[in-house]
Amino acid sequence: MSSTPLRIVFAGTPDFAAASLAALLNTEHQIVAVYTQPDRPAGRGRKLSASPVKRLALEHDLPVFQPTSLRNAEAQHALAALQPDLMIVVAYGLLLPQAVLDIPRLGCINVHASLLPRWRGAAPIHRALLAGDEETGITIMQMEAGLDTGPMLRIARCPIEPTDTSGALHDRLAALGAETLVATLAPLANGEISAQPQDDALATYAHKLEKREGAIDWNAPAPELARQVRGLNPWPVAYTELDGQTLRVWQAQAEPGACTAAPGTILEQRRDALVVATGDGHLCLTQLQLPGGKPISVAALLNAHRDRFAPGTRLG
């Protein structure tokens, strides 16, 4: 299906958004400008660092705009001067007021990493994993003033595998989002796509992640803790305490089993796992990180620190 090439303004910031921009660069459409968040301090030296979207845009000699807000008249006039047919927003990080939504001829569309109306908001990938969802996906949405409330243009589904981490699911959804976005443009430009309203009664909200959510409560059931470990990998990472120090848990699996020991007690050292009692069942820890160290397999950890993780030791 072909259409007249569109003049597109792209707005996005992280790697997830860069995947969609990269896909657009391989189409006939014209990217007339890229909007992204201002450079932020990063790393130990706290030097200003460009976003993944900005770096990709500069590699392709695209004009880059980095306003701190789109609510002022100056920023809106600059956007209108680009005369875009369409604005594509992917994990941009700034709210778009109605005045901005009204500028492009075809409005603004968003690539959202969930099956709306489930998991509107900032952290849909993580929340789907933490909740134990078996499926997620991509929704291409016509934007309106509400938070992820706009009518849906296209949906693509993605199963959540039992071993998925947020990092692995993020990468699959970034690729699926890019593919689904490109497939949406021609029918949108040709007026051959009809938007479907969301059912607000089914909406759930994906709150932004906080570091404190990584704290493991060993009284919780093992399947819930396994989802916590997977859902918070690679950030903020689940953690517990050992001898007053933070022990980060990067990988773990739940298994059934009756426990007489207190939750958080190490029950067994296996070749490749530490078996820990929980409120219901066992959690088998397979990749850990000691303070100042890197994430390593439990097999390697036990070679050097076997006595620290002796059966009977309490975590947390």
Please name the residues in contact with 166: beta carbons below 8 A apart, sequence gap of 6 or more.
Answer: 125, 126, 129, 230, 231, 232, 233, 234, 235
Is the CATH code 3.10.25.10 the one for domain 212-309?
yes
For the domain made up of 7-206, give the CATH fold: Rossmann fold (3.40.50)
Q: What is the pLDDT of residues 210-227, one digit of tens each?
A: 999 999 999 999 999 999
**Cβ burial, residue 246 (10 Å; 0-12/13-18/19+):** middle
C-alpha 240/C-alpha 249 separation (Å) is: 8
CATH 3.10.25.10 in the chain, residue ranges: 212-309
CATH 3.40.50.170 in the chain, residue ranges: 7-206
pLDDT-derived band at 235, boundaries 50, 70, 90: very high
Q: Position 262: which residue type?
A: A
Beta strands (DSSP E) in the chain are 7-12, 30-35, 40-42, 47-49, 64-65, 86-90, 108-112, 120-121, 135-142, 152-159, 205-206, 238-242, 245-255, 266-269, 274-277, 282-289, 296-297
- 39-55: buried (b, 16+ CB within 10 Å) or exposed (e) per residue? eeeeeeeeeeebbbbbe
pLDDT-derived band at 2, boundaries 50, 70, 90: low
Output the pTM of the full model: 0.95
Instruction: List the beta bridge partners of residue 141.
Output: 110, 152
**Cβ burial, residue 229 (10 Å; 0-12/13-18/19+):** buried
Q: What is the pLDDT of residues 131-144, one digit of tens each?
A: 999 999 999 999 99
